[in-house]
Every structure is written in C-alpha cells, then in structure tokens.
Amino acid sequence: MTAINGLILAGGKSSRMGRDKSLIAYHGKPQREHLFDLLTPFCKTVYLSCKSTETIPQQFNPLPDTFGIDTPLNGILSAFNFNPANAWLTVPVDMPFVNADTIKYLLHHRNPKKIATCFWDSDGKLPEPLLTLWEPHASGLLSGFYINNGFSPREFLVTHQAHCIASPNSNWLKNFNSVQEMNQYVDSLPGRF
C-alpha cells in the first residue's frame, strides 16, 4: 500500500465560530498543533490545508488552496495536486474528539481498492467526507469531478462508492461550528478536554 500523507483541513472561514477554529485549545494547545502531533506517527508528512500561508508557521507545512471553490474539496484537490502519488488522510480541525484510536481504526479498515475509506456519518446514511483516507487513484477522478462542476466531497464519495465503515464511537464525528455547540458539549462532557 502507498504511503500516507496527513492533511489537517483548516481552510474554512470559521464564520459561525467567530474565530479561527484551528487556534482553539481543546487539548491544552491549539487544535492545529494537536492534530499535527496526533497525525505525525501515522503519516509520512503532515500538512495544514489553508487559504493562505501568510499567518501559518512553516513547522505546520502549510498547503494553500489552489482551486476556485469555497468547500473542503479545495484542500483535498490541492493536496493531490501537490502530491498525487501518496494517499491523503484528511482530518477536519473542528472534530476535537478525533484521537489515536480513531486514526488506528480508520487505517485498520483501509480498503485501497476503493477510492477512499471513511466513516458513515452520525445518521449512518451518508459518508463523513472530511475524516477520510483518500487513495491515490482518487486524484484523477476528483479532478474530473471538479471540472464537471462538482464541489461536494460527500457527493463524490457517494458517486464513487467509497468504502464506508461504522464508527464505534459516535463522539469521534462530532464537530463544533459555533460557540454554542462547543459550550454545549464542553458542559455536558466534563473532563473530556
């Protein structure tokens, strides 16, 4: 199986959160740093997907968006444009419950014959597109999807029948997009952070 690069998806505007989600410290350090450290043992190299490299320290290997779309597909396409030969393990910066067990579970269930391996979403009906291991042969298909006006990573995974697995821990897929969501879970799960 091909080598895996890690990609922390942090190129969003964080408009609902009102501040940069990659700088929130759920685990005693900014989330981008936490995820970088988390992914490093599993990946050849870890990169931080971003809109611009201006404010990103070089230690995070910033990888700027290079396509004209405002969805996470931009970061995924940009990663494959940068290195189409390796697989890419994407982790969104707003899923604070992702841990080493999450990554091990995903990698253990990897199916390299499929275009990607991912979890079913919290409803168990659709792929969770951002916590995903993308295989190298997805690169050309993603480019074609984009050229044909595709912009949704989830739609791509459905169309190309990704390998979807059930998550043994529903918290792994929880994401926080607003202060209210963040506070709700922090209040209801004391000691988890």
Position 106 scores a pLDDT of 98
For 47-114, the DSSP string reads EEEES-STTS-GGG-EEE--SS-SSTHHHHHHHHHH-SSSEEEEEETT-TT--HHHHHHHHHT--TTS
92: closest CA among 130, 39, 53?
Answer: 130
Q: What is the pLDDT of residues 35-76, one digit of tens each?
A: 999 999 999 999 999 988 888 999 999 999 999 898 999 999
Q: In the predicted model, is pLDDT for residue 189 greater than 60?
A: no
- Residues facing residue 48 across a β-bridge: 8, 62
Q: In the predicted model, is pLDDT for residue 27 greater than 90?
A: no
The pTM of the full predicted model, rounded to 2 decimals, is 0.91
The separation between CA 136 and the C-alpha centre of its own chain, rounded to angstroms, equals 16
What's the distance, Cα to Cα, between the start and end of the chain in Å?
34
Say which range, 4-18, 31-45, 133-147, has the weakest mean pLDDT: 4-18
Position 90, amino acid: T
Mean pLDDT of 140-158: 96
Q: Which domains does the chain have, with CATH numbers?
A: 4-188 (3.90.550.10)
Q: What is the pLDDT of residues 71-113, one digit of tens each?
A: 999 999 999 999 999 999 999 999 999 999 999 999 999 999 9
Task: Identify the three-state secondary structure at position 186.
Answer: helix
Q: At a CB cut-off of 8 Å and minimum separation 6, what does 114 contact? A: 135, 161, 162, 163
